[in-house]
A and B are shown apart, each in its own frame.
Chain A
Amino acid sequence: NAGVTQTPKFQVLKTGQSMTLQCAQDMNHEYMSWYRQDPGMGLRLIHYSVGAGITDQGEVPNGYNVSRSTTEDFPLRLLSAAPSQTSVYFCASSYPGQNSPLHFGNGTRLTVT
């Protein structure tokens, strides 16, 4: 069972470049989300989706786009990278409902120079 798979593990971008962080899960979870983790700031929610075709903004959505065309995949797009987007990005999924714990991928470490 692969769980939540994120690619790439590491990425370096120059300011203004675009890229897509990939996230796939094989647990048939309806809920998927993206977080960024910065030192001393915990995890902050970027975007989330409660099912295919449905997405919504989280706490820090600016500069990021998402789409959810299938249950399995939830890519995160950076349209024009900025140094402030240097962070570790985590994808997480779960069954629907408040009582469901999140399952996390191993993260993508992004550096924007």
Chain B
Amino acid sequence: AQSVTQLDSQVPVFEEAPVELRCNYSSSVSVYLFWYVQYPNQGLQLLLKYLSGSTLVKGINGFEAEFNKSQTSFHLRKPSVHISDTAEYFCAVRPNAGKSTFGDGTTLTVKP
């Protein structure tokens, strides 16, 4: 069965500092990986996705993620965060057309 582990439940960081949110997945087959962001009182929205090809994927709002097949990781990074990046971030895999599996989420808090 597919599973996703987000290694940090909370990440506090100061404004303009770099950040990395860690995600490991388990899979014995090809996977499609996604990062979603959830702002307070809203639904999730897509940040970026890895389907195939280049292992470095760029998304919206300056975020990027690197797919590492040997380490089964898909960590999310941003070189300089803003207050507006404060949100909850979810890593997800979609093992088949019917289901997506989400991690438990990482709360990113950007402090001034």
Decide whether A and B are members of one complex.
yes
A residues with a Cβ closer than 8 A to B are 4, 31, 33, 35, 40-43, 45, 48, 50, 56, 58, 90, 92, 96-107
Whether A42 and B105, one on each chain, are in contact in the complex, defined by CB atoms closer than 8 angstroms, is yes
- A98: which B residues are within 8 A, CB to CB? 32, 94-97
- B41: which A residues are within 8 A, CB to CB? 106-107
- B44: which A residues are within 8 A, CB to CB? 43, 90, 92, 102, 104
- B90: which A residues are within 8 A, CB to CB? 42-43
- B51: which A residues are within 8 A, CB to CB? 99
Whether B100 and A45, one on each chain, are in contact in the complex, defined by CB atoms closer than 8 angstroms, is yes
Cα(A43)–Cα(B94), bound, Å: 13
B residues with a Cβ closer than 8 A to A are 9, 32, 34, 36, 41-46, 49, 51, 90, 94-100, 102-105
Task: Identify 13 residue pairs between A and B in the complex whose beta-carbon atoms are under 8 Å apart, listed by A's number.
Answer: A42-B90, A43-B90, A43-B102, A56-B98, A90-B44, A92-B44, A98-B32, A98-B96, A98-B97, A99-B32, A102-B46, A104-B36, A107-B43
Within the complex, which residue of A90, A101, A104 is in contact with B49, where a contact is CB–CB below 8 Å? A101
Nearest CB on B from A91, distance (A): 8
- A40: which B residues are within 8 A, CB to CB? 9, 104-105
Q: Looking across the interface, which residue of chain A has its beta carbon closest to that of B91?
A: A42
Q: Looking across the interface, which residue of chain A has its beta carbon closest to that of B30?
A: A98
Cα(A66)–Cα(B9), bound, Å: 32
- A106: which B residues are within 8 A, CB to CB? 41-43
Cα(A105)–Cα(B38), bound, Å: 11
Given the interface contacts A43-B90, A102-B44, does A48 sit within 8 Å of B104 by beta carbon?
no
- A104: which B residues are within 8 A, CB to CB? 36, 43-45
